[in-house]
Amino acid sequence: MKRLAALVAACAVLVGGCGLNAGGRLPFEVGPGSIRPEPTLRDVPIRVGSKNFTEQILLAYIAEVALSAAGADVEDLSNIQGSNAVRQALEVGDLDLYWEYTGTSWINFQQQTVPIPDEQEQYDAVKKADLERFGIAWLRYSPVNDKYALATTREFAEQHGLKNMSDMVALLRENPSLGTFCMESEFINRQDGLLGAEKKYGFDVPDRNIKTFGVGAIYATLATGRTCNFGEVFTTDGRVLTLDLAVLDDDRKSFPQYNAAVTVRKEFLDRYPAIADVLEPVSAKLDNDVILELSVKIDGEGQDPAVVARDWLVKEGFVTVPAD
């Protein structure tokens, strides 16, 4: 209980707190759809966490709404700062589940430096290692793949016929002056970031051609087309759509796979195996296009992420909204 109190207190000082409020519940009720009431989950307390960015908070609410429809007593502990903090909270039992990415676990928690290019193989390796080393179980992974990528403006891509990173490298060999990049400092020095891409594609970006920004500023700066021609982005970030950026395909697969999946302590899943029955069909319906569309509703239109999550689950028939 002391650990949980500390977690809630830590969440309270973050921007926006943890979800609606630290340790809060959903602000609405949902009824069953294709997700039916599950007797083994009725009134079971389940604490759902997330990291502190839009996609993660959205995924947390999707899990919370789905589990609520099954009858669980869900507690919202989303919007926690940093991968390590959320993961530690899961390991020590302050959280019961959250969505994690295969690449994050492989690089950060398993401390591997060489990514596995194939999605299934990356997932299998992470699932096995996490279970053996940490007692963390992974539900089946979703098609959501929030990878690193390089992007440019739509206009620049069309002007130079750029569809993938090999096209970009060929262009820079012909005209090195066009190789200006906006990146965060961590990405520049990571083997699963710029260093790995340079090695895989056989190119080199001089330090003078790199402008360093925080992740959020990269999108807006890149969209102006003035400071840099290329920038680091994430494939499921809604700003890719709202700013009409052209994401270059990583055709040689230099960046790790970052498929999202629900992670849960094995002992908790062993007690309540119906969690997988509830969440895995939902996970299978998610993909990058869905996440992009829903993220735009949150970041672009200012909609409440809990409502966006509920409405998508209603649309897909997983849950219903009870009549007044």
Do 178 and 297 belong to one domain?
Answer: no
Do 169 and 221 belong to one domain?
Answer: yes
**CATH value at residue 192:** 3.40.190.120
Last residue of a domain, one of 195, 215, 248: 248
Do 11 and 103 belong to one domain?
Answer: yes
Domain carrying residue 302: 2-145+258-320
Do 97 and 170 belong to one domain?
Answer: no
Q: What is the pLDDT of residues 290-301, one digit of tens each?
A: 999 999 999 889
Say if CB 270 and CB 111 are below 8 A apart.
no
Last residue of a domain, one of 220, 248, 276: 248
How distant is the alpha carbon of residue 128 from its chain centre?
21
Supply the pLDDT for residue 277: 98
Q: What is the pLDDT of residues 113-157, one digit of tens each?
A: 888 889 999 999 999 999 999 999 999 999 999 999 999 999 999
For residue 257, give the DSSP letter. P
End-to-end Cα, the chain, rounded Å: 37
Supply the pLDDT for residue 324: 66
Instruction: Tell me the C-alpha distance between 109 and 87, whole Å.
Output: 9
Do 125 and 176 belong to one domain?
Answer: no
3-state helix, strand and coil shares in percent for the chain, rounded to the nearest 5: 50, 20, 35
Do 232 and 89 belong to one domain?
Answer: no
Do 242 and 269 belong to one domain?
Answer: no
Give the pLDDT band of residue 8 (cuts 50, 70, 90): very low
Q: At what angle do helices 305-315 and 54-69 cross, to 10 degrees?
A: 50
Residue 170 has pLDDT above 50, yes or no: yes
**CATH value at residue 81:** 3.40.190.10
What is the arithmetic mean of pLDDT over 164-174?
98
Say if CB 205 and CB 233 are below 8 A apart.
no
The domain tally of the chain equals: 2
Say if CB 77 and CB 11 are below 8 A apart.
yes
The CA angle 137-289-211, to the nearest 5 degrees, is 90
Do 291 and 234 belong to one domain?
Answer: no
Do 112 and 44 belong to one domain?
Answer: yes
* Three-state DSSP class for residue 29: coil
Q: Flag whether 268 is in a domain.
A: yes
Do 117 and 171 belong to one domain?
Answer: no
Q: Phi/psi zone of residue 135: left (φ > 0), alpha (ψ -120 to 50 degrees), beta?
A: left
Q: Flag whether 253 is in a domain.
A: no
Supply the pLDDT for residue 286: 98
Q: Flag whether 17 is in a domain.
A: yes
Name the nearest CA neighbour of 221 among 205, 204, 233.
233
Q: Flag whether 299 is in a domain.
A: yes
Do 185 and 113 belong to one domain?
Answer: no
Last residue of a domain, one of 222, 248, 274: 248
